[in-house]
């Protein structure tokens, strides 16, 4: 049987670039790989699987003969083009937020709820939010063991979560503040040094943390905070899961981190949780504070698993754990999970 044809839609973007790296390094299950992007990228050459591939303009006809398409596009563009692709017989794996909470679109993390993708009436499988992804890899096995009831979360989200413009803005700001040791010691002097170069952020990110990520949502919440609640409920299958989240943007290039307070239905202990996580797929346990070993984005960047540590039973509740999680938001948080879903779809056709 011929290997399926894959399209990477948004191949020239920052996540699309990581997708091509993964397709080049993982087991090859694909026949033709077709790269699609906007008209301004038409004809551009990109490397994948050791060969140069030519980017084609995204058109309806570009999906002819394609079996599976990886979408890395803005929400509105995915809403427009995913139905175009599925109408031509393509199964779409979408990395945007456009379809995640649609009841007839499965939201899939293969290590957690692979079975959810069996039913996909619209021909679309959604990829989870990058911060949710890092967190859910550790929380899901603990939920299976102890029965999750509640999450209180604080995220520390990297600049790359806002795309290449976020990374460029952070580096530009850092170059403006480098060498001036008075910056940050007096009111307003960081703002003055950086000026209006805020890029996608609402405040200076260099020498600062910004307690906001996403768009404004009802009652003072941000869209990123609501994703942590809503997507966790759907992936874990816990409709009434209590979640409270605060999302913070930090001056890190790549690697989202989450401080987690998790309340379970039964008593937990730190050693038992470590054993569960030690055996969990897609998780690396890094938990030796006395030796200065804990999960940090500078170590997790460029790797696939979620790094988990600082595990301790809550001070005042024997049913609760506190832990810290970090993961590369460009790999498992976006590109890798999308590729993994596509590989499972490819296996169905064998």
**Rounded CA separation 65/7 (Å):** 10
Strand partners, 157: 249
**Rounded CA separation 280/276 (Å):** 6
Phi, psi of 72, deg, nearest 5: -125, 85
For residue 247, indicate whether it is catalytic: no
Strand partners, 347: none
Strands (E), 26-108: 33-37, 45-48, 51-54, 56-57, 68-71, 91-94, 107-108
Q: Is 65 left (phi over 0), alpha (psi -120 to 50) or beta?
A: left
Question: 306-313 and 283-285 as β-strands: parallel, antiparallel, unpaired?
Answer: parallel
DSSP string, 93-105: EE-SSSSTT-TTS
Question: 56-57 and 33-37 as β-strands: parallel, antiparallel, unpaired?
Answer: parallel
- Could you say which of 48, 143, 256, 261 is catalytic? 256
**Rounded CA separation 64/68 (Å):** 11
For residue 143, indicate whether it is catalytic: no
- Could you say which of 130, 143, 171, 261 is catalytic? 130
**Rounded CA separation 68/86 (Å):** 9
**Rounded CA separation 168/157 (Å):** 15
Catalytic residues: 130, 256
């Amino acid at each position: 049987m011929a290997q399926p044809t894959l399209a990477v839609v948004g191949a020239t973007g920052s996540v699309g670039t990581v997708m091509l790296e993964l397709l080049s390094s993982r087991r090859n299950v694909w026949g033709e790989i077709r790269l699609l992007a906007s008209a301004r990228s038409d004809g551009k050459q990109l490397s994948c699987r050791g060969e140069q591939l030519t980017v084609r303009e995204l058109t309806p006809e570009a999906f002819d003969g394609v079996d599976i398409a990886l979408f890395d596009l803005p929400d509105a563009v995915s809403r427009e083009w995913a139905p175009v692709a599925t109408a031509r017989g393509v199964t779409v794996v979408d990395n945007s937020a456009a379809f995640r909470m649609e009841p007839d679109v499965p939201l899939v993390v293969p290590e957690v709820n692979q079975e959810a993708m069996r039913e996909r009436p619209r021909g679309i499988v959604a990829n989870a939010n990058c911060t949710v992804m890092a967190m859910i890899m550790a929380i899901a096995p603990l939920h299976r063991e102890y029965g999750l009831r509640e999450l209180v979360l604080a995220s520390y989200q990297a600049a790359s979560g806002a795309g290449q413009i976020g990374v460029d803005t952070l580096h530009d700001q850092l170059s403006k503040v480098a060498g001036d040791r008075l910056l940050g010691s007096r009111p307003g002097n960081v703002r003055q040094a950086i000026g209006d170069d805020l890029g996608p952020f609402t405040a200076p990110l260099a020498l600062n943390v910004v307690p906001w990520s996403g768009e404004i949502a009802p009652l003072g919440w941000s869209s990123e905070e609501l994703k942590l609640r809503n997507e966790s409920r759907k992936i874990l299958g816990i409709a009434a899961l209590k979640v409270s989240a605060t999302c913070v943007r930090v001056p890190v290039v790549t690697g989202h981190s989450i401080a987690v307070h998790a309340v379970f239905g039964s008593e937990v202990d730190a050693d038992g949780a470590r054993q569960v996580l030690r055996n969990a797929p897609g998780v690396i346990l890094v938990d030796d504070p006395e030796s200065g070993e804990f999960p940090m984005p500078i170590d997790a960047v460029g790797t696939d698993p979620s790094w988990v540590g600082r595990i301790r039973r809550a001070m005042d509740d024997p049913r609760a754990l506190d832990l810290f999680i970090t993961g590369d938001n460009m790999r498992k948080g976006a590109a890798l999970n999308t590729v993994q879903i596509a590989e499972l779809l490819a296996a169905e056709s064998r």
